[in-house]
Amino acid sequence: FDSARRIHLPPQKRLIGVLFRDNALFPHMTVQQNIAAGVRKRTERGRITTEKLRQFGLEAVAEQYPRTLSPLQRQRTALARLLASDPEAILLDDPFQGLSLYEKTPLEEELTEFLHDYGGAVIWASRDRGEVYRNCRYACVS
């Protein structure tokens, strides 16, 4: 949004992916539908959705609704939806809050691996300094 230049893009056109700490999944949609909702190119929707289901190990729960998922499965779904949108920038808002160390570790490793090759900007907000030091080149502490 830029009022001076009269720019107001709806969220789906902003090319910024946001991973909220509460994952913000659509409760009336299945895992598969939630991921598909993030895909920008309609002609690629099926392929990308299938790819993200496989990448995040969600094939077995693809037809389930968020309320039936574990916290880890919900966060994996939210991350898959974010990455399915092919964002130019990513904002991670305390992405592992509410996950046990057992749940957090593999998801953090997968996200770190993805971000290693990601060419866009990433802002990672976290209360866990160790998480920040492991995953970020620069840190701003407040």
pLDDT at 52: 95
Structure tokens at 1: 């949004």
In the predicted structure, residue 12 carries a pLDDT above the cut 70: no
Q: Residues 88, 68: contact at Cβ < 8 Å?
A: no
Q: What is the sign, positive or negative, of the torsion defined by CA atoms of 136, 118, 64, 36? A: positive
Mean pLDDT of all residues in the chain?
A: 90
- In this predicted model, what pLDDT tens digit does every residue of 119-134 receive, in sequence order? 899 999 998 888 888 8
- In this predicted model, what pLDDT tens digit does every residue of 51-105 receive, in sequence order? 999 999 999 999 999 999 999 999 999 999 999 999 999 999 998 888 888 989 9
In the predicted structure, residue 117 carries a pLDDT above the cut 70: yes
Percent of the chain past pLDDT 70, that is, above it, reads 98
